[in-house]
Amino acid sequence: MLLLFTLQGFADTADFVRFESAKGLFKKGNVFFNNMQYLAATEYFRKAVERYPDYHTAREYLARSYRLAGLTDSATREWENLREISPENVAILGKIESLRYLDTGRDEVTSAESLVFNQSYRSYDFKRFGFRHPLDLVLDNEKNLYVTSFYSGKLVKIDVNGRGRGITKGALDSRLYGIDCRGTTLAVTDFRNDRFYLVATDGRILKTVGKSGSGEGEFHGPEGVCFDDPGNIYVVDSANHRVQKFNGAGQYLLQCGKQGEYEGEMTGPTDAAWIKGTVYVTDTGNRRIAAFDDSGNFIKNIEIDGLQKPRGISRRDSVLLISDERKGLCFYDTVNATQSWFGGAGNGQRGFSILSSSVYDRDGYLYCLDYNRETVHIYSQERKRYSNLDMEITSVDTKSFPVVAYYVNIRGRDGLPLYGLRAENFSITEDSTPITHLYVDYLRRLAPSVSVVLCVDRSRGNEGNHGEIPWVADFLLKKMRRNDSVKLVNYNNDVWEGSRFDWSRRRTVRALEKRDYAAGRSLGKALYTAVSDLIPRVNRRGVMLITEGTVSDESFASYSPEDIIHYARSHYVPIYIVSFREPHPLIRRIAMESGGALFRPSQTDGLRSIYDSMKRSEEYRYVLVYTAYKLPAFRGLWSEVKIEVDYKGEKGHEWCGYFVP
């Protein structure tokens, strides 16, 4: 609990009566809070604080509700009030700072500056999951680490907390080399057997591609491999001095390069990385990086000062991470053509012996594979040592009591969600009793489905586009399945429900065809309503706004663009906007900053991508589920709960509670 509210006795009976009245209001607000109706909850918590100003539990819940409702200024004000009451409470300061960092976005990691050692995974310590003579590594979306062991010919899987989870072998005599990941599929090269495998992240081999030779789709010592964003696969055919491109099904498409030292030629290339249509290859024999377009045409050679024996290459945004087995790790910015080096030394650590591969995860942790020491070294920015994780409790579900479920959001200091945590990363204490059996995978185990709110501009200005609205919406509706759902929200001077959540394309199109146009553009209220409708949904979620693209004075009278953006981002609800005209800058900003996108009706590929973007989005919410120890005699009493999270030394904690049903 951030502020301990203990009743030492009341000055008089009237004081006690006021507290009991405030407690009743708090209890009503708690019901709305746990139903994720945060605006309604703020009204009751605010009245509870007014009735009894020293009811600090109610004030904390008021601050939380304001933040979860997207009203960050009001939330900050309430936390500041609590800080005045308890200035020594560092947890309150952490809440205030987390609100200030909401708009900072990702703190880019593009150089060796401020990197510090975090921990190591040594092959020797993993026993049967050891990785002798490791050459490459990659992480999947759940932050599982995969390491190729050349000596044993096996692929080792290590989970987010550093525990061995699986082993995959291509063949008895395999010598696995390169690896990359896209979604739930791994591409792994087998150097000895001149082929590569497509492997599911659960260890199943899905397909084997290639044979020995120098023809199309044939290999002589395949080494590095990478996916591009569309899902094509680039395999470095080292002894044939080329890179071959395959589609996602393993069919040969084209090749890049040939043997030599001139333009478009390579000598013993080892690895590849793809950035926005360009394939960057470590041309090891020529001590440089070769760049080709995705059609196989040579672009340029990149000469980097100090590059001696480049071995592995990966990317983070526009920055290449080049692992030089003699010099260390080079960060090369492909936009600004700048470079910096990192040798791995510091914090009592020796420098790299032979660095074969390096990769970042999305939390900003750097994984470096030392071939000679058979060790994965993990580094982070120095600020991560001193920053806390931002944890929010968004709801407590006691409908199936004694089973209790806590909906939790966790973010880093940069405001971005922390994904892939396991039960062992959490600890829960209920009324001073530790919870020993905790389940956290409820949402991730659900079959992927989508809930969408279609938000339609019914202003007079959009009436001329009436015939196009069903056509635009159909790009999404045609892709929806029976386990998906869509709701229609209309707006002009008012906001109203056009249809309830439903899977039927036919019924939705019929509702879209109604001519309900009038003056006014209550855009802010409409988007706020749309996000509110989606928050309780347990599947993937998103808003699709179809608008003329114009705003007016009354558009954001109820809720500002900042309110909408904070509200959507707080609950991971992207807003995709289709604008018939060149959109107002505020409309563009809402789409971009909520995590969505902006399209014109002529951008049909973009319209087709909206459904897929929603359905393939990652699930960042956690649901922590356990069985409480409470007996029926506790009914109506407040049970206090503390939740803590720990990931690679970064910690966060939050308190909450529930009235025993």
Mean pLDDT of 513-532: 96
What residues pair up with 270 in beta bridges, in sequence order? none
Looking up residue 598, the CATH number of its domain turns out to be: 3.40.50.410
Strand order in the sheet with 176-182: 176-182, 185-190, 195-200, 205-209
Place of tokens 């039927």: 504
Cα–Cα distances in angstroms (integers) from residue 568 to residues 418, 571, 657, in the given order: 17, 5, 25
pLDDT band at 11 (very low <50, low <70, confident <90, very high): low
Indicate if 526 and 597 belong to the same structural domain. yes
Mean pLDDT of 140-166: 94
Indicate if 510 and 592 belong to the same structural domain. yes
- Could you tell me if residue 9 is left (phi over 0), alpha (psi between -120 and 50 degrees) or otherwise beta? left
**Final residue in a domain of this structure, among 209, 241, 267:** 209
Indicate if 607 and 467 belong to the same structural domain. yes
pLDDT tens for each residue of 441-465? 888 777 789 999 999 999 999 999 9
Mean pLDDT of 208-226: 97
Amino acid at 57: T
Instruction: Tell me: pLDDT of 253 over 50.
Output: yes
* Residues sharing a CB contact under 8 Å with residue 584, sequence separation 6 or more, in sequence order: 549, 550, 551
* Residues sharing a CB contact under 8 Å with residue 25, sequence separation 6 or more, in sequence order: 44, 45, 47, 48, 51, 58
DSSP state of 439: B
Is 185 part of a structural domain of the chain? yes
- Quote the pLDDT of residue 47: 96
Round to whole Å and give the CA distance between 458 and 450. Answer: 25
Give the structural domain span for 593.
450-615
Indicate if 474 and 581 belong to the same structural domain. yes
Within the chain, what is the greatest distance between any pair of CA atoms? 93
User: Whose CA is closest to 650, among 116, 136, 281, 278?
Assistant: 116
Cis peptide bond prior to 448, omega within 30° of 0: no
Indicate if 490 and 611 belong to the same structural domain. yes
Indicate if 542 and 602 belong to the same structural domain. yes
Place of tokens 């609590």: 82
pLDDT tens for each residue of 344-399? 876 667 789 999 999 999 888 999 999 999 999 999 887 666 567 889 999 999 99
* Of the listed ranges 87-96, 501-510, 512-521, 613-622, the one predicted with least confidence: 87-96
- Quote the pLDDT of residue 387: 62
Are 309 and 324 in contact by the 8 Å Cβ rule? The answer is yes
- Quote the pLDDT of residue 348: 62
3-class secondary structure, 375 = strand
Indicate if 40 and 178 belong to the same structural domain. no
- Quote the pLDDT of residue 534: 97
**Final residue in a domain of this structure, among 182, 209, 236:** 209
Is 285 part of a structural domain of the chain? no
Is 125 part of a structural domain of the chain? no
Looking up residue 72, the CATH number of its domain turns out to be: 1.25.40.10
Which tokens sit at 169? Answer: 């072998």
Instruction: Tell me: pLDDT of 417 over 70.
Output: yes
**Final residue in a domain of this structure, among 209, 235, 251:** 209
Which tokens sit at 564? Answer: 């909408």
Q: How many domains does the chain have?
A: 3
Indicate if 70 and 144 belong to the same structural domain. no
Indicate if 471 and 578 belong to the same structural domain. yes
pLDDT tens for each residue of 82-110? 888 888 777 787 788 777 765 544 444 55
Q: What is the mean pLDDT of the chain?
A: 91
User: Whose CA is closest to 183, among 225, 139, 141?
Assistant: 141
Are 137 and 148 in contact by the 8 Å Cβ rule? The answer is yes
Which tokens sit at 506? Answer: 């036919």
In sequence order, which ranges of 55-112 are alpha helices (DSSP H)? 56-68, 72-85, 90-100
Is 61 part of a structural domain of the chain? yes
Neighbours of 90 (CB within 10 A): 9
User: Whose CA is closest to 118, among 646, 648, 647?
Assistant: 648
**What is the dihedral angle through the alpha carbons of 200, 206, 212, 215, rounded to the nearest 10 degrees?**
-100
Round to whole Å and give the CA distance between 647 and 7. Answer: 36
Instruction: Tell me: pLDDT of 243 over 70.
Output: yes
DSSP structure string for 122-174: EGGGGGGG--SSEEEEEE-TT--EEEEETTTTEEEEE-TTS-EEEEEES-TT-
Indicate if 93 and 144 belong to the same structural domain. no
Instruction: Tell me: pLDDT of 233 over 70.
Output: yes
- Quote the pLDDT of residue 5: 44
The pTM (predicted TM-score) of the whole model is 0.82
Round to whole Å and give the CA distance between 1 and 242. Answer: 61
